[in-house]
Chain A
Amino acid sequence: MNLLIVLASNPYSHDFNTAVKLAEASINRNHRTSIFFMGNGIYSVLRPEVKELYEKGAKIYYCAHNAQQRKIKPEEWAESSSMYGLSKLVTEADKVIMLD
């Protein structure tokens, strides 16, 4: 299964913990797992938990417009994207979960 999680919550929210644990469980079951960060979710891209997910095989995307608004420069391993990029990820995904 191809799971896409869209996270718009900041890192100190319950949604962030939910997203991390959900992604971990998905990866452990060998599902293709992608996380798209937007809005205040951009701050979450800086968290070590997200890098760990990337190292375990998750694909990490973020909205470049929101990152620029917040003057955040994510590391190279996170892929810069857009709302149209999200539209394509939704096409490929079997399940989409939005955490706002």
Chain B
Amino acid sequence: MAKKKIVLIIKSNPFSWKAFEALRQAVGLSMGHDLTIIFMKEGVYTLTDWKPQMIGIEPLDKSMEALGMTEATVVAEEEAIRERGIKLRQWPIEVKIRPKEEVCELVENAEVVITW
């Protein structure tokens, strides 16, 4: 299977089924492609220490753990984190905090861009 450079952007807040589905999709895509997941805007809340179970959503740990076993890269936009004054929790995969310019470059170089 020819690998493609895929960027999966999570920009909406995680407080619905979408964040979980986005990460489940990411795990599937990471198996066959060169995947970068970018958390930006409200999406950065996904990376904080919140409790999905309290609103009936399965924890995201399993998906993040699975991503840790692939070559996927996880990036969070620095400005989005600073603007919201939030602190990211520890995840089973390294979360690289990058400025907006670098995020734009990642998106520009991608062959496929998927947004949530």
Chain A positions within 8 Å of B, measured between CB atoms, are: 6, 8, 38-40, 65-66, 82-88, 90-91, 93, 96, 98, 100
Residues of chain A within 8 A of B32, CB atoms compared: 84, 87-88, 90-91
List 20 interface pairs A-B (beta carbons < 8 Å), by A numbering: A39-B17, A39-B18, A66-B21, A82-B28, A83-B29, A84-B28, A85-B28, A86-B28, A87-B1, A87-B29, A87-B31, A90-B4, A90-B6, A91-B1, A91-B32, A96-B112, A96-B114, A98-B116, A100-B12, A100-B18
Which residues of chain B in 21-68 are interfacial with respect to chain A, using CB atoms and an 8 Å cutoff?
Answer: 21-22, 24-25, 27-29, 31-33
Q: Which residues of B contact A (CB under 8 A)?
A: 1-4, 6, 12, 17-18, 21-22, 24-25, 27-29, 31-33, 112-116
Assembled-state Cα–Cα distance A6/B2 (Å): 20
The answer for the CA separation of A87 and B32 in the assembled complex, in Å, is 6
- Give A97 Cβ to nearest chain B Cβ, in Å: 9
- Chain B residue with the shortest CB-CB distance to A96: B112
Q: B1 contacts which chain A residues (CB < 8 A)?
A: 87-88, 91
A83 touches B33 (CB 8 A): no
A40 CB contacts on chain B under 8 angstroms: 17
- B21 and A98 contact, CB distance less than 8 A: no
Q: Are the C-beta atoms of B4 and A91 separated by less than 8 Å?
A: yes
Are A83 and B24 interface neighbours, CB within 8 A? yes
Question: What residues on B are CB-neighbors of A8 within 8 Å?
Answer: 18, 21, 116
A87-B17 contact in complex given A98-B115, A100-B115, C-beta closer than 8 Å = no
Interface core residue of A8, A82, A83 (most chain B CB under 10 Å): A83
Assuming A8-B21, A85-B28, what are 6 further A-B pairs, CB within 8 angstroms?
A39-B21, A83-B24, A84-B31, A84-B32, A87-B31, A100-B115
Residues in chain A near residue B116, CB distance under 8 A? 8, 98, 100
Chain A residue nearest to B1 in the complex (CB):
A91
Q: Is the beta-carbon distance between A83 and B28 smaller than 8 angstroms?
A: yes
Contacts of A96 in B (CB 8 A): 112, 114
Closest to A82 in B: B28
